[in-house]
Amino acid sequence: MEKKIIKTENAPAPIGPYNQAVQFGNMLFISGQIALDPKDGTLFQGEIKEETEKVMQNLNGILEASGMKFSNVIKTTIFLMDMGKFAAVNEVYGNYFDNETAPARETVQVSGLPRGVQVEISMIAAK
């Protein structure tokens, strides 16, 4: 098997030496996404729910470019600047999954994220 680099204009271009996602066999590894606009790279600044929605839209763009959808996601990691905002992030995140097919997940509070964002989410999916 060889790895396939996933690139799409429906998610922000990488801001460092990494790819949006890498597919290896039936597995898809999506790099952490933040609330950057895919079209012009501007950073969304606002309430945590709206920021989380932008992140989920970016993740969706990558999933679609890989021929997958949220039901293919098997693992997510959520990085938060403030665990006190967990409920708000979880509310938005929950709109993309149902309890029957929701992936495994961890949520971690961190001391800093790229460009000062409040939330970053990475995913692993499989066909």
Compute the C-alpha angle 81/86/91, nearest 5°.
135
Report the predicted TM-score, pTM, of the whole model to 2 decimal places. Answer: 0.96
What long-range pairs does 112-115 form, CB within 8 A, spacing at least 24?
A: 112/81, 113/34, 113/79, 113/81, 114/15, 114/34, 115/15, 115/34, 115/36, 115/43
In this predicted structure, the answer to whether residue 110 has a pLDDT above a threshold of 90 is yes
Q: Mean pLDDT score of the chain, rounded to an integer?
A: 96
Contact 76, 28 (CB under 8 A): no
How confident is the model over 11-66, as pLDDT tens digits? Answer: 999 988 999 999 999 999 999 999 999 999 999 988 999 999 999 999 999 999 99
Answer yes or no: is pLDDT of 99 > 90: no
pLDDT-derived band at 73 (thresholds 50, 70, 90) equals very high
86 pLDDT band (50/70/90 cuts)? very high
Q: What are phi and psi of 36, to 5 degrees?
A: -100, 145
Which domains does the chain show, CATH number per domain? 3-126 (3.30.1330.40)
Closest CA to 60 of 26, 95, 88: 95
pLDDT at residue 72 in the model = 97
Q: Give the neighbor-by-neighbor strand order of the sheet with 21-24.
A: 3-6, 21-24, 27-33, 119-126, 73-80, 104-109
The yes-or-no verdict on residue 97 having pLDDT over 90 is: yes
